[in-house]
Amino acid sequence: MAEQTIVFAQGIEMPPDILAQAQQLKPAGFTLQLVPPAASAAEIAAAIREAEYLTGFPRFLPDEAYTEAKRLKLLQVLSAGYDYVNIAGARKARIPICSNGGANSVAVAEHAIMLMLAVYRKLVAFHQNVVGGRWHQGIPRTVNIYELEGKTVGLVGLGNIGQQVARRVKAFDAQVIYYDTFRRSLAEEGRLGVQYVPLDTLLATADIVSLHVPLNDDTRHMVNAEALGRMKPSAILINTCRGEVVDEGALIAALQAGRILAAGLDTQAKEPADPHNPLLTLSNVTLTPHSAGPTVDSFRKRFTNGYANIERVARGQVPRWIIPEMRDLFPEATTTA
């Protein structure tokens, strides 16, 4: 059988070691074609016109890019989120879009825990004081400095990442409640040690609200002024999913007014961050540059999962991890996720 082509759309500049992983883990019988990170939509469309598979982080492509790619069998994204993909265009061509199967779930979960601890223990402020020769100056030792033990952590979304966060939070002897549009079985809730509650209840009772939902029409600005108003003044918000899940203006107002205690944010509405964004100046905000998912370890898992899915399709099997918005086109895939 002739070799089939996998087009790898980088989306962003990939370090040499990650590109080396992509080549080393590629299964036999496939050719890997790298598309530069600065490639235009037209250039990506040209690359996939004669290819069987598209993977990586492809930017939004017009409908015709998919409908004209007559040999394309699968779009395998390497991220948990897929809001940058033209789902409608892929649907027209009946090309399944698959997520990364939780390959970066541990990385993001660890990052979420890190932000919880960094916010609670004022890590950034203390670091800046020490290197600036100020020690405790201006930061009282016990004011608004907390432990994770005994707190109630509310997870908004209990997918692959949310479940990994739940497991790790339980190790801190914290209580975990969750809200998701799909409630898990009582057996699964028991195994994870989590309790389902309505979203309003979660917002009103959680000491830490941690967001783990995809960005779509239903979740855009789901954390708005009303939602923030339901949170306790002592509560903190952690966001490691997508910036636009939060109404940033409402969050800034809540933080400035002390309506919530603090926030730890890996994502913002505009990325890279606008240098004039008030979030950059608030002392009760800890920021990271959308860096929760990319690790050396997670990329190995991403390529392993992605290539395994490509091999399934090459064998004539149904792929795993088809996104919910396309499962109606591939009902036979619902039992293989």
Query: Sign of the CA dihedral 73, 79, 80, 85?
Result: negative
Q: Parallel, antiparallel, or unpaired for β 285-287 and 262-265?
A: parallel
Question: Are 323 and 97 contacting, i.e. CB atoms less than 8 angstroms apart?
Answer: yes
| Residue 119 token pair | 């916010």
Tell me the chain's radius of gyration from C-alpha atoms: 21
Q: How far apart are CA 97 and CA 321, in angstroms?
A: 8
Catalytic residue among 52, 242, 248, 302: 242
Question: Are 37 and 10 contacting, i.e. CB atoms less than 8 angstroms apart?
Answer: yes
Catalytic residue among 50, 147, 226, 271: 271
Cα distance between the two ends of the chain: 28
Q: How far apart are CA 335 and CA 258, in angstroms?
A: 47
Is 271 labeled as catalytic in the residue annotation? yes
Catalytic residue among 111, 212, 290, 302: 290
Overall residue count recorded for the chain in this entry: 337
| Residue 315 token pair | 């064998």
Is 191 labeled as catalytic in the residue annotation? no
CA 83 → CA 24, 30, 40, 60, 323, distances in Å? 28, 28, 18, 9, 11
Is 111 labeled as catalytic in the residue annotation? no
Q: Which positions are catalytic?
A: 242, 271, 290
